[in-house]
Every structure is written in C-alpha cells, then in structure tokens.
Amino acid sequence: MTKITKRPFGKLSDGREVSLYELKNSSGASVEVIDFGGAIRAINVPDRDGKLGDVALGYDSPEGYEKQGKYIGALIGRHGNRIENALFKLGRKNYFLEKNDGRNNLHGGFKGFDKRMWNAEIDGEALVLKYFSPDGEGGFPANLWVTVRYTFDENNALMIDYSAESDGDTVCNLTNHCYFNLDGEGSGSIEGHSLRLNATHFTVGNSECLPTGYVAKVEGTPLDFTDFEVIGDRINSKHEQIVFAGGYDHNFCPDGEGFRHMATLKAEKSGRFMEVYSDLPGIQFYSGNFLDGTDPYGKGGRPINKRDGLCLETQFYPNSLRFANFTKPILRKGERYHHVTVYRFGVEK
C-alpha cells in the first residue's frame, strides 16, 4: 500500500507556500512531487544491492523551480515541445503564441504549466493535481480544465494519468519533463546509460529541432536504438541529425498502437533499469544537451551540468499541427483528453 504525506517545501518569491507530497510504498521506495509546476522532485528506488537512491534531478527549494529554465521535473502544457513560428490554425482562425524558443513556441510559452501553482489533494493512494487554464492564456484558445493523477505502486511503477476538458476547440499536449539518472542524481553524465527504444522510425528534425513532416527509418543512423545502445557511443556523431540537436533531442515513433512498451533505460553501474509505457503517439529522447551548470544549482548545491540527466517525454509529435500525416493534439469542445504514461523501475541482479 502506498502512503501519501504532505509537508511544507518553502515559499515562492511572492510569498505563496509550496507543499511537497511524498508517495511511499511498503518497501520504502518513494516519489516526491511539489504543487508548483506539478514537478517530480525525487524518485527514490533501490539499486542492485537494495540501497535506495534518488534517480531524478531537482532542487532543494521552490526558488530553484521558480528560477529554472530547463523544465526540470515539471508538468508541461498546454502544448509540450515546439510549435513552428509560434502559430497554429484551428478552424478558420490563426492563433499567435509566445515566441520563447527563437521564433518558435516551446512547452507552452514563457509561463506554461511548469510555472503555475496546481491545486493538490490526496485521494487515497493517488495524488491529484488540478489546474484551470483560462481562455487566452499563452495565446491558446478556450478554457481548459486539467487533472493529473500521480500514483506509485508496490512494483515501483510511477503512473501519470493526464485528463483535460475544454469549453471550446483548443490544442492539448501534456507531458512531464523529469530528468532521469539511474546511477543517482549528482553522479555525473548519463552517457554510460544504455537505451532501447521500441521505435523503427523517427521524425526528421531541422536545425531548430523542429520536425519537418518527414518520418524516416532509424536503421543505419545514430538514432537506431532498436537494440540496447550505450548513449555516449554515438552522441558526438557527425550525422546531421545529431549535429542539429547537439546530441539527442528527437521525437521517436514507437511501434504499435495504444498502450505499449516504448522504451527501456538501464545503468550498468547501479543495476537499475526503467521501462516506459504510454498510449501517446510519440516519445522525445532528450539527452540534456542544454543543461549548463549555471544557477539555480541542484540538490545539495551541486551544479546541474550538461547530460547529467535525460528525458523520455511521451507526447503527440512536435509541430504536428502543421502536417497532415501527423496525429494532431486537437481537443474539441465536449471531448475528453485522456492519456497515461508509466515509468517502472527495477534492477538487474
């Protein structure tokens, strides 16, 4: 049985109090979530020797989450990832968004869901976070009511259940931007981790990491993770896709449909592995290329340096509103957005 407890975490610069919620199962493994940004602050799971360790990057106070620009741990919305020219058309109307990534919109704009206070409540073994996004926030149309349920079970599986409803047609593409390091946060680069992606195709990106509408085979490229590959082996490849992104920052197209196994990440040093399951169309593998060691510093005051963590973000394809061959994250009035992602942790003996 999972027990959820609440405790103070500190205050934001405007004086608002932030709370931390710990979801702990009977083995002692746990997940910590704060109500500012709905951010996952810590994930404590055992290594091959049974020793608990924190495998998620994060901060020791609300100040870090308020100041950061790397989206560490946070819930992302209304639209995860990039929208070209910060512009999309819905029906006969154009909607102009904030340009917070060059000429593009990234993760909802300058103040997306990652910078909002969520209403949190404990519902048995689930932590339920709710946020109301008013019509016009960030340039997005219609009022949107979002609910995210976090659960953490006896099998060390973290489930994130996303749902949303709107009073008008809008776009909705929710994800979580947790950075993982299975050797433990603060242990250095993730380049020694091995990754397998159950994806034979990816969306080709340009120099802005924007999908161009083309879906290509991973075969014969440094993006082929159909078998376990050490991340660092090809991360400095001269392949155009790797050069464009400065490493990995690509949307993959997991094989199959519906709720399915998308990825497995493992760390030889600790023996930990993590499996990713979701019913969303895509998954973004981001190797932490823009982590730069600058303030705000991470847990224990340590700098968060380049590639100290990686993200596996389930999502609709980035820039999908532009291309007929991509499934679009359009939420119609009266419909319900509902998707589930699971991160399950284990050990190889």
Q: How far apart are CA 24 and CA 69, in angstroms?
A: 29
- In the chain, the percentage of residues whose pLDDT exceeds 90 is 100
Give pLDDT tens digits for 169-195: 999 999 999 999 999 999 999 999 999
Our answer to whether residue 32 is catalytic in this structure is no
Count of structural domains, the chain: 1
Terminal CA-to-CA distance of the chain, rounded, Å? Answer: 25
Tokens 């746990």 -> residue? 30
Percentage of residues in the chain with pLDDT exceeding 70? 100
Q: Which residues neighbour 220 within 8 Å (Cβ) at sequence distance 6 or greater?
A: none
pLDDT of residue 233: 98
pLDDT at 11 over 80: yes
- Is 90 exceeded by the pLDDT of residue 349? no
Does residue 232 have a pLDDT over 90? Answer: yes
304-327 burial string, b = 16+ CB within 10 Å, else e? beebbbbbbbbbbbbbbbbbeebe
Supply the range of the domain harboring residue 328: 3-347
Which listed residue (84, 137, 185, 313) is catalytic? 313
Domain of 186, CATH number, reads: 2.70.98.10
Tell me if 151 sits within 8 A of 162, measured CB to CB: no
User: Taking all residues of the chain, what is their mean pLDDT, rounded to a whole number?
Assistant: 98
Provide the Cα torsion 285, 289, 290, 294; round to 10°: 120
Enumerate residues 6+ apart whose C-beta is below 8 A from 86. Answer: 96, 97, 98, 99, 100, 103, 104, 105, 139
Residues 6+ apart with CB under 8 A from 50: none
Strand partners, 230: 194
Band of pLDDT at residue 202, cut at 50, 70 and 90: very high
* pLDDT tens digits along 129-167: 999 999 999 999 999 999 999 999 999 999 999 999 999
Predicted local confidence at residue 327, as pLDDT: 97
250 is catalytic: no
d(CA 212, CA 204): 6
- Reported as a single tens digit per residue, the pLDDT across 315-345 is 999 999 999 999 999 999 999 999 999 999 9
Catalytic one among 107, 177, 193, 250? 177
From the list 306, 296, 305, the residue with the least C-alpha distance to 59 is 296
